Chains A and B, each alone.
Chain A
Amino acid sequence: DAKTTQPNSMESNEEEPVHLPCNHSTISGTDYIHWYRQLPSQGPEYVIHGLTSNVNNRMASLAIAEDRKSSTLILHRATLRDAAVYYCILDSNYQLIWGAGTKLIIKP
Protein backbone atom coordinates (compact mmCIF):
# COMPACT_ATOMS: atom_id res chain seq x y z
CA ASP A 1 0.00 0.00 0.00
CA ALA A 2 1.16 3.49 -0.78
CA LYS A 3 1.91 5.32 2.47
CA THR A 4 2.51 8.86 3.61
CA THR A 5 4.94 10.27 6.15
CA GLN A 6 4.22 13.43 8.12
CA PRO A 7 5.81 15.13 11.14
CA ASN A 8 4.02 14.21 14.36
CA SER A 9 3.38 17.81 15.29
CA MET A 10 4.03 21.40 14.27
CA GLU A 11 3.55 24.75 15.92
CA SER A 12 2.74 28.05 14.30
CA ASN A 13 1.76 31.52 15.38
CA GLU A 14 -1.70 32.85 14.75
CA GLU A 15 -2.13 34.86 11.54
CA GLU A 16 1.07 33.46 10.02
CA PRO A 17 1.30 31.03 7.11
CA VAL A 18 1.71 27.33 7.84
CA HIS A 19 3.40 24.80 5.61
CA LEU A 20 2.57 21.19 6.41
CA PRO A 21 4.85 18.72 4.60
CA CYS A 22 4.05 15.18 3.47
CA ASN A 23 6.23 12.55 1.86
CA HIS A 24 4.72 9.87 -0.35
CA SER A 25 7.65 8.36 -2.18
CA THR A 26 5.76 5.20 -3.20
CA ILE A 27 2.89 7.04 -4.84
CA SER A 28 1.68 5.55 -8.09
CA GLY A 29 0.79 7.50 -11.21
CA THR A 30 -2.95 7.34 -10.60
CA ASP A 31 -3.00 8.07 -6.86
CA TYR A 32 -4.56 11.36 -5.87
CA ILE A 33 -3.25 13.29 -2.87
CA HIS A 34 -5.94 14.25 -0.37
CA TRP A 35 -5.74 16.33 2.78
CA TYR A 36 -8.26 16.17 5.62
CA ARG A 37 -8.25 17.61 9.10
CA GLN A 38 -9.86 16.40 12.28
CA LEU A 39 -10.82 18.19 15.44
CA PRO A 40 -11.10 16.18 18.68
CA SER A 41 -14.15 13.92 18.83
CA GLN A 42 -15.29 14.91 15.34
CA GLY A 43 -15.25 13.26 11.96
CA PRO A 44 -12.56 14.38 9.50
CA GLU A 45 -13.19 17.41 7.30
CA TYR A 46 -12.05 17.68 3.69
CA VAL A 47 -9.41 20.32 3.01
CA ILE A 48 -8.09 19.89 -0.51
CA HIS A 49 -6.93 17.32 -3.06
CA GLY A 50 -4.96 17.14 -6.29
CA LEU A 51 -3.15 14.90 -8.74
CA THR A 52 -0.25 16.73 -10.38
CA SER A 53 -0.90 20.45 -10.52
CA ASN A 54 -0.96 22.79 -7.56
CA VAL A 55 -4.46 23.46 -6.26
CA ASN A 56 -6.05 26.36 -4.44
CA ASN A 57 -9.37 26.65 -2.66
CA ARG A 58 -10.87 28.87 0.00
CA MET A 59 -9.33 26.84 2.81
CA ALA A 60 -5.79 26.18 1.63
CA SER A 61 -3.32 25.59 -1.17
CA LEU A 62 -1.71 22.32 -2.14
CA ALA A 63 1.75 22.35 -3.64
CA ILE A 64 2.74 19.07 -5.30
CA ALA A 65 6.35 18.31 -6.13
CA GLU A 66 7.19 17.72 -9.76
CA ASP A 67 8.07 14.06 -9.09
CA ARG A 68 4.91 13.76 -6.90
CA LYS A 69 6.87 12.15 -4.11
CA SER A 70 6.01 14.93 -1.71
CA SER A 71 3.45 17.64 -1.21
CA THR A 72 2.85 20.61 1.07
CA LEU A 73 -0.41 21.91 2.46
CA ILE A 74 -0.32 25.66 2.88
CA LEU A 75 -2.60 27.53 5.23
CA HIS A 76 -2.10 31.13 4.23
CA ARG A 77 -3.08 32.73 7.51
CA ALA A 78 -3.59 30.37 10.41
CA THR A 79 -6.26 31.03 13.00
CA LEU A 80 -6.92 29.30 16.29
CA ARG A 81 -9.72 27.38 14.58
CA ASP A 82 -7.15 25.75 12.31
CA ALA A 83 -5.68 23.81 15.23
CA ALA A 84 -6.35 20.17 14.35
CA VAL A 85 -4.73 16.95 13.20
CA TYR A 86 -4.01 17.19 9.47
CA TYR A 87 -3.91 13.99 7.46
CA CYS A 88 -2.14 13.63 4.13
CA ILE A 89 -3.74 10.68 2.38
CA LEU A 90 -3.27 8.85 -0.87
CA ASP A 91 -6.41 7.95 -2.77
CA SER A 92 -5.52 4.64 -4.31
CA ASN A 93 -8.28 3.09 -6.39
CA TYR A 94 -10.84 5.23 -4.52
CA GLN A 95 -9.70 3.89 -1.17
CA LEU A 96 -8.17 6.40 1.23
CA ILE A 97 -5.01 5.15 2.92
CA TRP A 98 -4.57 7.01 6.21
CA GLY A 99 -1.27 7.87 7.86
CA ALA A 100 -0.63 9.15 11.36
CA GLY A 101 -1.21 12.84 10.62
CA THR A 102 0.35 16.05 11.93
CA LYS A 103 -1.02 17.75 15.01
CA LEU A 104 -1.00 21.47 14.27
CA ILE A 105 -0.76 23.73 17.30
CA ILE A 106 -1.57 27.41 16.82
CA LYS A 107 -0.15 29.83 19.33
CA PRO A 108 -2.06 33.04 19.96
Chain B
Amino acid sequence: GAVVSQHPSWVICKSGTSVKIECRSLDFQATTMFWYRQFPKQSLMLMATSNEGSKATYEQGVEKDKFLINHASLTLSTLTVTSAHPEDSSFYICSARDWDGRNTEAFFGQGTRLTVV
Protein backbone atom coordinates (compact mmCIF):
# COMPACT_ATOMS: atom_id res chain seq x y z
CA GLY B 1 0.00 0.00 0.00
CA ALA B 2 0.89 3.64 -0.24
CA VAL B 3 3.39 4.97 2.25
CA VAL B 4 3.94 8.35 3.79
CA SER B 5 7.34 8.88 5.38
CA GLN B 6 7.92 11.53 8.02
CA HIS B 7 11.29 12.65 9.29
CA PRO B 8 12.63 13.04 11.91
CA SER B 9 10.73 10.75 14.26
CA TRP B 10 11.83 12.79 17.23
CA VAL B 11 13.72 16.02 17.82
CA ILE B 12 14.83 18.03 20.82
CA CYS B 13 15.60 21.68 20.28
CA LYS B 14 16.39 24.73 22.33
CA SER B 15 13.82 27.42 22.92
CA GLY B 16 14.01 30.08 20.23
CA THR B 17 15.36 27.84 17.48
CA SER B 18 13.52 26.52 14.44
CA VAL B 19 12.78 22.93 13.52
CA LYS B 20 11.86 21.50 10.12
CA ILE B 21 9.79 18.35 9.71
CA GLU B 22 9.56 16.60 6.35
CA CYS B 23 6.69 14.56 4.99
CA ARG B 24 7.08 12.51 1.82
CA SER B 25 4.64 10.42 -0.16
CA LEU B 26 6.77 7.54 -1.39
CA ASP B 27 4.74 5.93 -4.15
CA PHE B 28 2.05 8.38 -5.14
CA GLN B 29 1.73 12.05 -5.91
CA ALA B 30 0.06 14.08 -3.21
CA THR B 31 -1.30 17.41 -4.35
CA THR B 32 -2.67 17.90 -0.86
CA MET B 33 -1.11 16.98 2.47
CA PHE B 34 -2.38 17.62 5.97
CA TRP B 35 -0.51 18.57 9.13
CA TYR B 36 -1.83 17.62 12.55
CA ARG B 37 -0.74 18.21 16.12
CA GLN B 38 -1.55 15.83 18.94
CA PHE B 39 -1.15 16.48 22.65
CA PRO B 40 -0.93 13.59 25.14
CA LYS B 41 -4.15 11.60 25.51
CA GLN B 42 -5.93 13.82 22.98
CA SER B 43 -7.12 13.35 19.45
CA LEU B 44 -5.47 14.74 16.35
CA MET B 45 -6.02 18.41 15.68
CA LEU B 46 -5.76 19.63 12.11
CA MET B 47 -3.32 22.52 11.84
CA ALA B 48 -3.24 23.18 8.12
CA THR B 49 -3.83 21.83 4.67
CA SER B 50 -0.79 21.96 2.44
CA ASN B 51 -1.40 22.45 -1.28
CA GLU B 52 1.31 21.80 -3.86
CA GLY B 53 2.36 25.00 -5.56
CA SER B 54 0.18 27.31 -3.50
CA LYS B 55 -0.21 28.67 -0.01
CA ALA B 56 -1.30 26.43 2.81
CA THR B 57 -4.70 26.81 4.39
CA TYR B 58 -4.46 27.18 8.16
CA GLU B 59 -7.10 26.26 10.70
CA GLN B 60 -8.43 28.91 13.00
CA GLY B 61 -6.05 29.68 15.84
CA VAL B 62 -2.95 28.31 14.11
CA GLU B 63 -0.30 30.98 13.52
CA LYS B 64 0.84 30.80 9.92
CA ASP B 65 3.99 32.80 10.63
CA LYS B 66 5.01 30.36 13.34
CA PHE B 67 4.18 27.14 11.51
CA LEU B 68 5.58 27.58 8.03
CA ILE B 69 4.44 25.06 5.46
CA ASN B 70 6.07 24.50 2.11
CA HIS B 71 4.74 22.06 -0.47
CA ALA B 72 7.13 22.57 -3.35
CA SER B 73 6.68 19.21 -5.05
CA LEU B 74 4.03 16.54 -5.41
CA THR B 75 5.85 14.25 -2.99
CA LEU B 76 7.20 16.57 -0.31
CA SER B 77 5.70 18.92 2.23
CA THR B 78 7.62 20.50 5.08
CA LEU B 79 6.50 22.05 8.34
CA THR B 80 8.87 24.46 10.05
CA VAL B 81 8.21 25.42 13.62
CA THR B 82 9.87 28.81 13.96
CA SER B 83 11.13 30.29 17.21
CA ALA B 84 9.99 27.21 19.07
CA HIS B 85 8.89 27.46 22.70
CA PRO B 86 8.17 24.74 25.26
CA GLU B 87 4.44 25.03 24.61
CA ASP B 88 5.10 23.91 21.02
CA SER B 89 6.25 20.54 22.33
CA SER B 90 3.87 18.03 20.84
CA PHE B 91 3.47 15.10 18.45
CA TYR B 92 3.23 16.34 14.86
CA ILE B 93 1.75 14.09 12.19
CA CYS B 94 1.41 14.52 8.45
CA SER B 95 -1.07 12.81 6.16
CA ALA B 96 -1.67 12.47 2.45
CA ARG B 97 -4.31 10.92 0.23
CA ASP B 98 -3.98 9.48 -3.23
CA TRP B 99 -6.77 11.31 -4.98
CA ASP B 100 -8.00 9.23 -7.87
CA GLY B 101 -11.58 10.39 -8.12
CA ARG B 102 -12.80 7.94 -5.50
CA ASN B 103 -13.04 8.36 -1.78
CA THR B 104 -9.79 6.81 -0.65
CA GLU B 105 -8.09 6.24 2.65
CA ALA B 106 -5.62 8.65 4.21
CA PHE B 107 -2.04 7.58 4.85
CA PHE B 108 -0.16 8.93 7.81
CA GLY B 109 3.45 9.51 8.61
CA GLN B 110 5.05 7.96 11.65
CA GLY B 111 4.81 11.24 13.52
CA THR B 112 7.47 13.56 14.95
CA ARG B 113 7.85 14.02 18.68
CA LEU B 114 9.06 17.60 19.22
CA THR B 115 10.45 18.56 22.60
CA VAL B 116 11.47 22.17 23.14
CA VAL B 117 13.73 22.75 26.12
B residues adjacent to A (C-beta < 8 A): 4, 6, 32, 34, 42-46, 49, 91, 93, 95, 97, 99, 103, 105-111, 113
* Option from B44, B45, B113 in Cβ contact (under 8 Å) with A41: B113
Instruction: Give the interface size class of chain A.
Output: 20 to 34
Q: How far is the CB of A8 from chain B (nearest CB, A)?
A: 11
How many contacting A-B pairs (Cβ < 8 A)?
51
- The complex places the Cα of A42 from the Cα of B10 at a distance, in Å, of 11
A43 at the B interface (CB under 8 A): yes
| Chain A contact residues, CB within 8 Å of chain B | 32, 34, 36, 41-46, 49, 51, 87, 91, 94-96, 98-101
Is the pair B110, A43 in contact by a Cβ cutoff of 8 Å? yes
Whether the pair B93, A44 counts as a contact (CB closer than 8 A) is yes
On whether the beta carbons of A98 and B44 are closer than 8 Å, the reply is: yes
- Contact at A32–B103, with CB atoms within 8 Å? yes
Cross-interface CB contact of B105 among A41, A46, A95, cutoff 8 Å: A46
A44 and B91 alpha carbons, distance in the complex (Å): 12
A81 CB, nearest partner CB in chain B, Å: 17
Inter-chain contact B111/A87, CB cutoff 8 Å: no
Q: Can you list 27 A-B pairs with a CB-CB distance of less than 8 A?
A: A32-B103, A34-B105, A34-B106, A36-B108, A41-B91, A41-B111, A42-B111, A43-B6, A43-B108, A43-B109, A43-B110, A43-B111, A44-B93, A44-B95, A44-B106, A44-B108, A45-B108, A46-B106, A49-B103, A87-B43, A87-B44, A94-B103, A95-B46, A96-B34, A96-B95, A98-B46, A99-B43
Contacts of A49 in B (CB 8 A): 103, 105
6 additional A-B pairs beyond A43-B4, A44-B106, A94-B32, beta carbons within 8 Å, are A41-B111, A42-B111, A43-B95, A49-B103, A98-B46, A101-B43
